[in-house]
């Protein structure tokens, strides 16, 4: 009989796919509909489109990994299967983290209008070369993650035949691969995104304080778009943190936290769709208009 731990992981895997496929399909189709009507996307829409594709693939990888772990554990120990799922999962997760940073940087440079040269440069490249930037980011993450993983993994497989070398290989793996890879793929985008969040929040606080103390009877500006951007960065960083915390499940093998960590990791890509929907009024209107038109036509027939 299947244990409660395995049952919860299987339910999370199926639920994640059930939520991610329709949600991210709507996001991708909505952005494609915007391209068809307007000819191009804004920087935020481009990043949302990229996030939709990446998170859909990431959810598929995590759900398949969870199902294999529950239903056919022996397959997880096959070198090729484990290597493919591990490599593709981390590559997509790292790329998604960098997409969060570029979205945060775009919001920060657009809202704060900082006059420092670095922020002016970031604003210029995000506005004019975003598609090239996203491609180069994906290429950089691929170079950091994929080749080195297979080199280290192959070394550990070959050296595991000699028990005296196992501990050395594990230490070698940790310092020569995992620390640099996690620094580039996790720590760096998180710190940069957090910096953008702090700068954006401090700018809005100063702006509200100035408006409040220098109010001369004029109409106060609408800050709803700025608040939405700030809320979006915060929620994405929160999901970022949950996903990273779920990676420490190795330390909770015999506790309920192991199940919690697995479920957090599996469901985090599908939950991010809700953050994207709340961040884009244009995307929501496009999707609602499409579904409303289809339902109206079905009623007519």
The most confident of the ranges 40-49, 50-59, 270-279 is 50-59
Within a domain: 301: no
Q: Which residue has the higher pLDDT, 149 or 296?
A: 149
Within a domain: 20: yes
pTM: 0.85
Within a domain: 200: yes
Share of the chain above pLDDT 90, in %: 22
Q: What is the CATH number of the domain that holds 44?
A: 1.20.1070.10
Position 125 pLDDT exceeds 60? yes
pLDDT of residue 95: 94
Q: Which residue has the higher pLDDT, 48 or 128?
A: 48
Within a domain: 65: yes
How many domains does one find in the chain?
A: 1
Residue whose C-alpha is closest to residue 233's, from 136, 99, 67: 99
Tens of pLDDT, residues 95-115: 999 999 999 988 888 887 766
Position 36 pLDDT exceeds 50? yes
Tens of pLDDT, residues 50-104: 999 999 999 999 999 888 888 887 777 676 777 788 888 889 999 999 999 999 9
Tens of pLDDT, residues 135-158: 999 999 988 877 666 665 555 555
Within a domain: 299: no
Q: Which domain holds residue 24?
A: 4-214+221-294
């Amino acid at each position: 009989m299947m244990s409660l731990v395995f049952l919860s992981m299987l339910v999370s895997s199926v639920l994640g796919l059930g939520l991610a496929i329709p949600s991210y399909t709507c996001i991708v189709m909505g952005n494609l509909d915007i391209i068809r009507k307007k000819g191009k996307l804004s920087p935020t829409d481009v990043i949302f489109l990229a996030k939709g594709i990446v998170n859909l693939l990431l959810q598929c990888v995590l759900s398949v990994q969870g199902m294999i772990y529950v239903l056919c554990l022996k397959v997880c120990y096959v070198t090729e299967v484990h290597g493919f799922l591990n490599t593709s999962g981390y590559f997509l997760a790292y790329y998604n983290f960098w997409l969060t940073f570029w979205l945060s940087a775009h919001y920060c440079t657009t809202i704060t209008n900082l006059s420092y040269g670095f922020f002016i440069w970031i604003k210029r490249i995000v506005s004019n070369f975003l598609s090239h930037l996203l491609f180069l980011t994906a290429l950089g993450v691929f170079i950091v993650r994929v080749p080195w993983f297979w080199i280290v993994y192959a070394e550990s497989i070959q050296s595991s035949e000699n028990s005296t070398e196992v501990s050395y290989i594990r230490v070698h793996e940790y310092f020569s691969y995992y620390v640099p890879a996690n620094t580039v793929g996790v720590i760096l985008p998180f710190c940069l995104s957090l910096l953008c969040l702090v700068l954006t929040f401090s700018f809005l606080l100063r702006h509200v304080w100035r408006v409040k103390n220098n109010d001369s009877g004029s109409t106060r500006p609408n800050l709803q778009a700025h608040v939405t951007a700030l809320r979006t960065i915060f929620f994405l960083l929160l999901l970022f943190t949950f996903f990273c915390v779920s990676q420490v499940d190795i330390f909770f093998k015999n506790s309920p936290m192991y199940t919690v960590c697995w479920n957090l990791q599996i469901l985090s890509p599908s939950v991010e769709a809700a953050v994207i929907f709340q961040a884009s009024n244009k995307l929501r209107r496009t999707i609602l208009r499409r579904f409303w038109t289809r339902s109206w036509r079905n009623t007519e027939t």
